[in-house]
């Protein structure tokens, strides 16, 4: 794959990918941006292995998912939740961050697999089969995680309100 | 299948900044990474070439040593210690063993991936 072709494909997908990672990281912009860069650089370095029969977004999601799992492994065992995190510095993006605070908080409290499945399904608009490919799981397990995740998220959102 | 969560996620549009600027920064990083990748590839090729030379040299040197020993047999004398006599007796076997060891080591090193390549391909599908 040429660099131009790669850039063209990434241009279409980068926004969705960054949004997906931002939701996955519970609204932590720096973490999400670092992961997005890591994902895209890894994707470029292994672009020779990209098989056209898969959607480019599915392939990117698979890399992003692995980067995210690795990132969690590198981090401290306890996840940093927004309500117990450090105070946010006041920037232009702070208002926007607070707008989605409830969703970020609720997503942060979900188990990793449910959070990933929900984000892939709703934000990346991936099918069950594509989510299974990206997470290295099977479609039946993805369906279960999606159903359980929906229930948990609804409950958490209700508790937040 | 539309549900309340669809609406929630559809409205999830956090500000991500300028896409062109983002792409420009990404392409700069890709250029740097390409430089590193090319350097790592060159190092890998050099490493393989060195190992190939070591492998061939080992085989040739071993073969020459065997031929030399066959053509110039050492005659044991009474002055020689038991250890030397034992070595003389077993020298074809010892030489063959050395050749096998050198060849195996070179073959293992030839097939092993250098660290740079394996770290590049880690975690990518």
Binary contact (B125, A96; C-beta < 8 A): no
Binary contact (A19, B16; C-beta < 8 A): yes
User: Which of the pair, B116 or B79, is modelled with greater confidence?
Assistant: B79
| B65-101 confidence digits (pLDDT tens) | 778 877 777 676 777 778 888 887 787 788 778 778 8
Q: What is the pLDDT of residue A118?
A: 92
Q: What is the pLDDT of residue B109?
A: 73
DSSP string, A75-110: S-SS---GGGSPPPP--TTHHHHHHTHHHHHHHHHS
R_g of chain A computed on alpha carbons: 16
- CB contacts, 8 Å: A11 with chain B: 19, 23
Q: What is the pLDDT of residue A160?
A: 73
What is the value of pTM for the model shown?
A: 0.65
Q: Is A65 on the interface with B (CB under 8 A)?
A: no
Q: Which of B24, B30, B33, B120 to mutate to test the interface with A (most CBs of A within 10 A)?
A: B30
Q: What is the pLDDT of residue B88?
A: 77
Binary contact (B15, A41; C-beta < 8 A): no
R_g of chain B computed on alpha carbons: 31
Q: Is B13 on the interface with A (CB under 8 A)?
A: yes
Among B3, B19, B125, beta carbon nearest to A14: B19
Element (H, E) at A158: helix A139-160
User: Which of the pair, A47 or B111, is modelled with greater confidence?
Assistant: A47
Query: Average of pLDDT values for B45-61?
Result: 84
Binary contact (B125, A93; C-beta < 8 A): no
Q: What is the pLDDT of residue A89?
A: 52
How far out from the chain centre does Cα A112 lie? 10
The stretches in chain A having pLDDT less than 70 are: 76-99, 161
Binary contact (B12, A23; C-beta < 8 A): yes
Q: What is the pLDDT of residue B122?
A: 44
CA dihedral A148, A151, A154, A157 (to 10 degrees): -60
Tally of CB atoms within 10 A around A150: 18
DSSP string, B62-86: HHHHHHHHHHSPPPP-TTS-HHHHH
Confirm if B124 and A65 have CB atoms less than 8 A apart: no
Q: What is the pLDDT of residue B30?
A: 85
Q: What is the pLDDT of residue A143?
A: 94
- CB contacts, 8 Å: A149 with chain B: none
Binary contact (B125, A44; C-beta < 8 A): no
Instruction: Tokens for B50, please give them.
Output: 């060195």
Binary contact (A10, B23; C-beta < 8 A): yes
**Complex ipTM above 0.90?**
no
pLDDT at B118 over 50: no
**A-B C-beta contacts closer than 8 Å:** 83
Evaluated on CA atoms A150, A154, A157, A159, the torsion sign reads negative
Instruction: Tokens for B60, please give them.
Output: 């040739």
Among A45, A62, A100, beta carbon nearest to B33: A45
Q: How many residues does chain B have?
A: 125
pLDDT at B112 over 80: no
Return d(Cα B87, Cα A77) in angstroms, integer: 61
Q: Is A2 on the interface with B (CB under 8 A)?
A: no
Confirm if A20 and A120 have CB atoms less than 8 A apart: yes
pLDDT at B121 over 50: no
What domains does chain A contain, in order, with CATH numbers? 3-77+90-160 (1.20.140.160)
Q: Is A41 on the interface with B (CB under 8 A)?
A: yes
Confirm if B119 and A59 have CB atoms less than 8 A apart: no
Return d(Cα A27, Cα A29) in angstroms, integer: 6
Return d(Cα B85, Cα B75) in angstroms, integer: 9
Average pLDDT, whole number, for chain B? 77
Return d(Cα B47, Cα A136) in angstroms, integer: 35
Binary contact (A7, B27; C-beta < 8 A): yes
């Amino acid at each position: 794959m040429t660099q131009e072709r790669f850039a063209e494909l990434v241009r279409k997908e980068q926004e969705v990918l960054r949004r997906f990672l931002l939701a996955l990281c519970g609204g932590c912009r720096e973490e999400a941006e670092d992961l997005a860069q890591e994902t895209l650089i890894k994707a470029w370095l292994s672009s020779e292995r990209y098989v056209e029969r898969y959607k480019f977004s599915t392939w990117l999601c698979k890399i992003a998912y692995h980067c995210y799992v690795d990132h969690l492994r590198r981090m401290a065992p306890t996840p940093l939740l927004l309500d117990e995190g450090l105070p946010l510095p006041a920037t232009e993006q702070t208002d926007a961050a607070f707008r989605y605070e409830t969703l970020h908080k609720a997503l942060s409290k979900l188990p990793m697999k449910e959070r990933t499945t929900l984000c892939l399904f709703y934000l990346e608009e991936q099918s069950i089969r594509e989510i299974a490919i990206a997470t290295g799981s099977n479609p039946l397990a993805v369906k279960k995680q999606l159903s359980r995740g929906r229930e948990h998220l609804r409950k958490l959102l209700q508790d937040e309100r | 299948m539309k549900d309340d969560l669809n609406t929630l996620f559809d409205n999830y549009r956090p500000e991500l900044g300028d896409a062109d600027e983002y792409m420009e920064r990404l392409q700069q990083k890709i250029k740097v990474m390409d430089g590193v990748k090319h350097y790592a590839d060159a190092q890998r090729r050099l490493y393989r070439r060195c190992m190939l030379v070591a492998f061939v040299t080992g085989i040739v040197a071993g073969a020459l040593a065997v031929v030399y020993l066959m053509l110039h047999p050492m005659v044991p004398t009474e002055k020689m210690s038991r250890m030397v006599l034992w070595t003389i007796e077993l020298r074809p076997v010892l030489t063959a063993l050395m050749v096998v060891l050198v060849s195996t080591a070179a073959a293992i090193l030839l097939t092993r991936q250098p660290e740079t390549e394996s770290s590049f391909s880690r975690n990518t599908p």
